[in-house]
Amino acid sequence: MTIKAHALIIPLLISLPLGGCFTTSYTHGHVVTTDMLNQVQVGSSKEQVELVLGSPSTTSSLNGDAYYYISQVTETTAFMAPDIVEQRVVAVYFDNDGYVRDIANYGLQDGKIVDLITRKTRTGGTDYGFLSQILKGASNPSLGL
């Protein structure tokens, strides 16, 4: 084989394993389209909102009722961990009479990263050792010891 043939074959052989690496996109949650959102106006009832947007992903009852429609688009390449490409939360806020008072549309840039799985709860009792806690309790006359 000539040098030109090697120059052509070697890059092809190196890129062959990468041919199976492709990006896959997944959509999770309740996707609300712009057309659907345009049908919900301030003053609409809860029933009208549910008819147009469907059942909410979650609800809240703080400071009046609210419906939240949450969706997320992730992309993954081969065996890599998925990356969040798009995240959207459509919030529909109701007044005390059950009519839409405001609609908010939050994106990925509006979010905050929250660590949900820390599996640790810090308590005041962990600051002291067992013996220190006993001695502090014995020196406190309000405990009745």
Q: How many helices (H) and strands (E) does the chain have?
A: 4, 5
In 45-99, the DSSP E strands lie at: 58-60, 66-77, 83-94
Give the residue-averaged pLDDT of 71-95: 86
Q: How many CB atoms lie within 10 A of CB 39?
A: 13
Residue 144 vs residues 12, 65, 109, 125: alpha-carbon distances, Å: 83, 48, 55, 20
Hey, what domains does the chain have and what are their CATH numbers?
21-123 (3.30.1450.10)
Helix (H) or strand (E) holding 28: strand 23-29
For residue range 37-46, list pLDDT tens digits in order. 899 999 999 9
pLDDT at 139 over 70: no
Reported confidence tier of residue 17, pLDDT bands at 50, 70, 90: low
Residue of 109 and 47 predicted with greater confidence: 47
pLDDT band at 123 (very low <50, low <70, confident <90, very high): low
pLDDT tens, position by position, 90-111 = 999 999 888 999 999 888 777 6
Q: Is 81 helix (H, G, I), strand (E, B) or coil?
A: coil
